[in-house]
Structure formats: structure tokens, C-alpha cells
């Protein structure tokens, strides 16, 4: 199971105002120049999985990077009371309103959809 959001969702989150933190070890980032190439921060470098190399994140390279948050990252940005529910083989749900869930097989995607919906309603 993937614990971070997809490239497309990362872009939608950024457009909705989701914070783009300073790169830290263990985070995942997408390279927007190479469409969907995912990288992981190890030490001070961002290593890309599909062989496009690595970079030391700088102000210039950040223009071509988008954060791929985990469900925990997204939950920190949602109002108190939001939760992720495990529905077993039916996936995960982000409780948007009492007993109303946004469901997805990836908990980060469910949380991201809740964040995007909430921002659209503000």
C-alpha cells in the first residue's frame, strides 16, 4: 500500500493551499519536470526512483518539486475531529461530516480529498 498521495493529488493539494514544507529526510516529493517521478529525501539529497538522478533541494529546484504528503501530514492540516477509518477490504475513509466518508484504497488519498473539499467550501 502506498502511504503518500499520487502526483495528480499532490498538484491539487498544492493548488488548494496545502503547505510545501522544507524537504526533510523521509519525505516524498514529485519532480514536476519529469512528470510523476517520485523522490525520497535521504540526508540532504532528494533521490528520484525512476533513474532521473538526485538533487540537493535548493530554492531553484523547489520550483520543480511538489510535496507528496502522507495521511499523517494531511491530518495535521485538517481541523480537529477529522479521522481516517479503516474499512478493511473496502479501503479507508476520511470522515468529512458525521458518518459521511470520502473513501479510497489509500488513506493519504482519502485525507487529501477531504482537505481539497474543505478548502473548496471555504
Identify the three-state secondary structure at position 97.
Answer: strand
pLDDT of residue 21: 92
Distance, CA of 52 to CA of 42 (rounded, Å):
16
Give me the residue label for grid cell 477531504: 114
The mean per-residue pLDDT over the stretch 13-29 comes to 91
Average pLDDT over the chain, rounded to an integer: 81
Q: Tell whether the torsion through CA atoms of 8, 12, 15 and 17 is positive or negative.
A: negative
Distance, CA of 110 to CA of 38 (rounded, Å):
20
Portion of the chain with pLDDT greater than 90, in percent: 29
pLDDT of residue 36: 61
CB 11 within 8 A of CB 28: no
Is the model's pLDDT at 84 over the cut of 70?
yes
Amino acid at each position: 500500500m502506498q502511504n503518500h498521495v499520487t502526483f495528480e493529488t499532490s498538484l491539487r493539494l498544492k493548488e488548494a493551499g496545502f503547505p510545501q514544507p522544507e524537504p526533510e529526510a523521509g519525505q516524498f516529493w514529485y519532480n514536476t519536470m519529469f512528470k510523476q517521478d517520485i523522490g525520497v529525501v535521504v540526508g540532504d539529497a532528494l533521490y528520484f526512483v525512476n533513474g532521473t538522478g538526485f538533487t540537493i533541494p535548493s530554492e531553484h529546484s523547489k520550483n520543480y518539486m511538489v510535496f507528496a504528503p502522507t495521511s499523517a501530514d494531511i491530518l495535521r492540516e485538517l481541523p480537529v475531529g477529522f479521522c481516517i477509518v479503516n474499512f478493511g477490504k473496502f479501503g479507508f475513509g476520511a470522515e468529512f461530516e458525521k458518518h459521511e466518508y470520502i473513501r479510497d484504497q489509500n488513506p493519504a488519498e482519502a485525507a487529501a480529498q477531504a482537505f481539497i473539499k474543505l478548502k473548496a467550501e471555504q
